[in-house]
Amino acid sequence: MDNEKLRVEILAWLKPIMATWDVSDLYAVSLWVNNTCDNPCEPTVALGYNTEAKFEESLERASGKEEARWNYAFWLQNREFVFGEGETGETVKQWIEGNNLPYFPCVDYDFTIPDGVDRELLETITREFVDTLVEVVRELHDIGFIESTFGKAIPVIIHELEYYDVIARQNEKANPECAIAEFVQWIDSRYNR
């Protein structure tokens, strides 16, 4: 399976779920990238969102408005769907093997890089997975799915639990500037001192 087929698979799962969301104060969609057992061979992406109501509720705990608005730690933590688990886990495995990258499963929730395996090669899996997500988000915007579903351009944020320059740049590639500028400005002001 190549990156294009993976992109099509992810879109086929995400779009119907997002289309069912009837949340009037939704302001951002989350694509939280994580590796099962910290294993780069088992990348996942959890779909969720945040609302203005949750943002308002988080203001008293956050260090400021921007943190309450953009830091996933203050979000709803709603995992509407996780691509890379269950039957979609097999899809990810086929994609990795189809790209001639090594696949080593996590055993008993413990993962250690096998002897002789180059860590950089395993990190290629994460980069390629995220690059595919960038294409997914770009397509969601380009075909008008985001605006028609939510009534406006909102950011679809591809992220980890930490924020740094790479997160800002990948989201600039994926989202129109009008939707992502505030998020990128927050990262740049906070993490790129």
pLDDT, the chain, mean: 93
Per the DSSP assignment, residues forming a β-bridge with 84 are: none
CA–CA gap between residue 163 and residue 192 (Å, rounded): 10
pLDDT at 108 over 90: no
Distances (CA, A) of 147 to 23, 44, 90, 150, 151: 14, 26, 32, 5, 5
String of DSSP letters for 108-170? TTB--PPTT--HHHHHHHHHHHHHHHHHHHHHHHHTTHHHHHHSS---EEEE-SS--HHHHHH
pLDDT of residue 192: 61
Residue 155 pLDDT exceeds 60: yes
Please state the pTM of the whole predicted model.
0.94
Confidence of residue 119 (pLDDT cuts 50, 70, 90): confident
Torsion of CA 69, 37, 122, 116, to 10 degrees: 150
- Average pLDDT (48-68) is 97
**pLDDT of the residue at 107:** 67
- Give the pLDDT confidence score for residue 110 in this predicted structure: 66
pLDDT given for residue 53 in this prediction: 97
Residue 159, pLDDT score? 97
Confidence category of residue 163, pLDDT binned at 50, 70, 90: very high
Q: How many CA atoms lie within 13 A of 65 on its CB side?
A: 3
pLDDT one-digit tens code per residue, 27-37? 999 999 999 98
Closest CA to 100 of 76, 65, 124, 71: 124
